Amino acid sequence: MNKYQGFARKSAALGLLIAAGSLLGSTASADASAGKIVLSGYADGVGGESLMAGDYAAIIGKLGAHGMGFALDPIAASTNLCIAYIMTHAWDKADGACDEAVRVAKLDTPTGTLYERATHDHQVAIAYSNRAVLHSLEANPLEAASDLAHASAFAPDLALVSGNRAALHGVGGP
């Protein structure tokens, strides 16, 4: 189970709404609404303050070289870096960062309790959902649908996943 300074990571996530019809046109509050795709990161993790402030360059500067932040909190670091690259339209780097976020979240195995398992599953679902948003923005609807299916398998009741499925299907996703 991922630990951050001795406390179990919360699966609560920061939502960044993106107008489904435009490429990263605007961001808004964490309220999900119809027709919006949502990126989700960790406000309480490495790079979280910069993420909340919309300072994506600071996240990239701090986490892009995989420094100490990755050692302290690899799930938040990889997820927040994925979002920073998406928000700055650094598509090639976003592909690698989002792949890494999925890989890191899947590797962080729970130690046994139901709570830890649910937290793990939400972290993996968040990583897959973010990568699905990236694939959608890159005009790869089949990859986006595949990632959303994986996200749903890990956390079928997570509103982030069902909201992204609805939004992406509404803009031509499978």
pLDDT category of residue 50 using cuts at 50, 70 and 90: very high
* C-alpha to C-alpha distance for 168 and 146, rounded to whole angstroms: 12
Check whether 6 has a pLDDT greater than 90.
no
CATH H-level superfamily of 14-170: Tetratricopeptide repeat domain (1.25.40.10)
Ranges 14-23, 85-94, 114-123, most confident: 85-94
Q: What is the mean pLDDT of residues 117-127?
A: 92
Judge whether 120 and 109 are in contact, CB under 8 Å.
yes
* Domain boundaries of the chain, sorted by first residue: 14-170
Helices of type H across 88-158:
91-107, 114-137, 141-154
* C-alpha to C-alpha distance for 57 and 74, rounded to whole angstroms: 19
pLDDT above 90 covers a percentage of the chain that reads 54
